[in-house]
Amino acid sequence: MKRIGVFTSGGDAPGMNAAIRAVVRQAAVLGLEVVGIRRGYAGMIQGEFLPLGPRDVANILQRGGTVLLTARSQAFMTEEGRKKAYENLQQAGIEGLVAIGGDGTFRGAMRLIEEFRLPVVGVPGTIDNDLYGTDYTIGFDTAVNTALEAIDRIRDTAASHERVFLIEVMGRNSGFIALDVGIAGGAEVIALPEAPVDPRAVAEVLLESQRRGKTSSIVVVAEGAYPGGAEGLLRAIRSHAEVEARVTVLGHIQRGGSPTAKDRILASRLGAAAVEALVGGTSGVMVGEVEGEVELTPLKDAVERKKDIQRALLDLARVLSI
């Protein structure tokens, strides 16, 4: 193998640039050329390729987002689109790929492997932390800290106005962000897709908090935890109790910003490990970190096996909310 490609796809995540940098520099040490593919699978179909050397990735470690850009691609969902992408890769002399992204990115990579036997290694880049085979995904730690800073500010306002605030964080199908942010932010209630809440029970928790002398409360809601998100949950709560409350949706603010030290280190380690795996003849796997060690997990397992939240943390949250 003499030349590999690297691309980012799906939602951006802080630390993706650190992973790109590590791929390029590890490849250089091993004598490989690297081609950057802009705009993910869409750019693969359009032939948006550019050579990347060690100097080309200087001063990107601290930047959020992805310098290679990212995009959704309906064309790649078709056989014709995938064939065009593969032909472009062949023409560019790319013999293997490092795919940085989440569930959708890896499903696309699996298609390239199955249909064209192109070697691909995945790097988990998603703030949701929902991929099986790694304790943490790149971008998760930054997203949690970004959301936590916002919640700390909102708590000041909640206390000043003696109100309840429902704060919606990202997590359509997973509650990892909500759980960590809820504990670190001192939330009275945490609503997760993995642990559905009963609006009547939430109303009672808030009323009981008031009876114990609390003048304000924070409820952290993962966007997929209740139909209609935080707004839907508040409407349901108010059908059981009169609660002075406001909703704040943090939205895409959680994806941006300079990555934390933890995300930079994780991204650097996994980016380098992905290149080593490719050079070693490994394909169809995701590099992850499990209990401090780099582990390889089949892409199929990474996207199809369920990664559960730490249930003990949810129990702890209930204890700490009294």
Q: Which residues are annotated as a binding site for substrate?
A: 126-128, 163, 170-172, 223, 246, 252-255
**Positions at the binding site for Mg(2+):** 103
d(CA 130, CA 82): 26
Distance (Å, rounded) from C-alpha 231 to C-alpha 237?
10
128 noted as active-site residue:
yes
Among 12, 128, 130, 141, the one annotated catalytic: 128
Q: Which of 146, 167, 177 is nearest to 221 (CA)?
A: 167
Binding-site positions for ATP read 11, 72-73, 102-105
Kindly state the tokens that stand for 24. Answer: 């390029």
Determine the Cα–Cα distance for residues 68 and 103; give it in Å rounded to an integer.
19
CA–CA dist 185, 192 (Å, integer) = 15
Residues 100, 78: Cα–Cα separation, whole Å = 21
Alpha carbon distances (Å) from 223 to 70, 133, 172, 251, 256: 23, 24, 5, 9, 18
- For the chain, the first-to-last Cα distance in angstroms comes to 59
Distance CA 209, CA 224 (A): 25
- List, as residue ranges, the binding site: 11, 21-25, 72-73, 102-105, 126-128, 155, 163, 170-172, 186-188, 212, 214-216, 223, 246, 252-255
The residue among 59, 11, 37, 73 whose CA lies nearest residue 258 is 59
CA–CA gap between residue 259 and residue 265 (Å, rounded): 10
**Mind telling me the catalytic residues?**
128
